[in-house]
Amino acid sequence: MTAVEPTEPEVLVRREGTLGHLILNRPRAMNALTHRMMMTIGRQLTDWETDDAVHAVLLTGAGERGLCAGGDIVAIYRDTVAGGTGTSTFWADEYPVNLQIARYPKPFIAMMDGVVLGGGMGVSAHASIRIVTERTKVGMPETAIGFVPDVGGTYLFGRSPGELGTHLALTAGTATGADAIRLGLADRYLASEKVPALVRALGEMTAGSDLQSTLDSFTEAPPAAPLLASQSWIDACYSADTAEQIVANLQQSPEADARATADVILAKSPTAVKVTLESLRRARKLPNLEAVLEQEFRVSIHSLKRPDFREGIRAMVIDKDRTPQWSPPELADVSDAEVASHFDDLGADELRLTALAHPHSN
């Protein structure tokens, strides 16, 4: 008989000096998040919060491709095809962890090197210290799979300068590390070759170490943010109240990049595009992250019941034919009533975050 090799945990938990170190450990899946991973992160953060020997927490990703490519959408697809409830349960536990990270009383350092998409933003872009590199690609690609930005994505994008966040959300585009800093999604810039040395230095810190000085010795001023060069036409085109008018503005723009962007949006799920725009506009008016996450949970559960989410995952990830058949297929076919229905209360299934202090203490 051949011995079965032990399976490594999906999240590696380490103590290095005064540092608590969490390593997302699914490198073959670009560290895509599972329910079990989120529960592990939440429980460990709760334990370290009251551990006086832990002065800061670091989040990194295993492998060479990046921190995290988002939630495990293959698992979501299988759950929806089977008519299960695993996805809604996952989200109900995931969003409180996103909030827990945002509220964390100790320094939470997120190493946002490489790919940081969707759920990956939820575990990093709410951190108190967010470090990006020249390899960083950060974004919320949900409209490409018939879904809507969640995990606080509409909170982050809704508060980005001008309409840059709206542009990234509707196009499912990505931003560079330098862009992320200018958009308010990150704080510090680091050459990727220095990441291992910084991680070692953080692990060698003692009770008398100065975290900010340690970070200062490695990080540097970011280069120019390429997205900012397009802000003028982005702000002008995306200031409209409807997705149809935004597309029309882009199509009529003298800027070639703007006209090309119209085609990008028209290839996305019309329902997802319209609901995403409405989510962003509403998020800007909500008072805090808790309220936005509660809104996103409602929208996510309603989106789960629509055909485009399953079809988007099928086309982009399962069959990989990249020819999703959206229903309905045109922006004009998505009614205002259909968009509004995504924000309806869920009744007993409603997620309430404002009363949760330590959701993973048990």
Active site members: 71, 119, 142, 150
Query: Rounded CA gap, 80 and 76, in Å?
Result: 6
Distance between CA atoms of residues 25 and 33, nearest Å: 9
Contact between residue 36 and residue 188 where contact means Cβ atoms under 8 Å apart: no
For residues 37 and 26, what is the distance between their CA atoms, to the nearest angstrom?
A: 10
What is the DSSP annotation of 154-173? HHHHHTSSTTHHHHHHHHT-
309: CB partners within 8 A, 6+ apart: 80, 145, 146, 147, 303
Residue in the structure block whose two tokens are 């060479």: 64
- The first and second tokens of residue 255, run together, are 């800027």
The closest of 246, 226, 229, 227 to 237, measured between CA atoms, is 246
Write out the H or E segment, with its range, that includes residue 138.
strand 137-139
**H or E segment and range at residue 22:** strand 19-24
- 57 - beta bridge partners? 20, 108
Cα distance between residue 196 and residue 192, in whole Å: 8
Q: Answer whether 298's CB lies under 8 Å from 341's CB.
A: no
**Rounded Cα–Cα distance for residues 219 and 206 (Å):** 20
Neighbouring CB atoms inside 10 A of 32's CB total 22
Residue with tokens 């723009």: 253
Cβ(342)–Cβ(154) under 8 Å?
A: no
* Spatial contact of 341 and 283, defined as CB atoms under 8 Å apart: no
DSSP class of residue 318? I
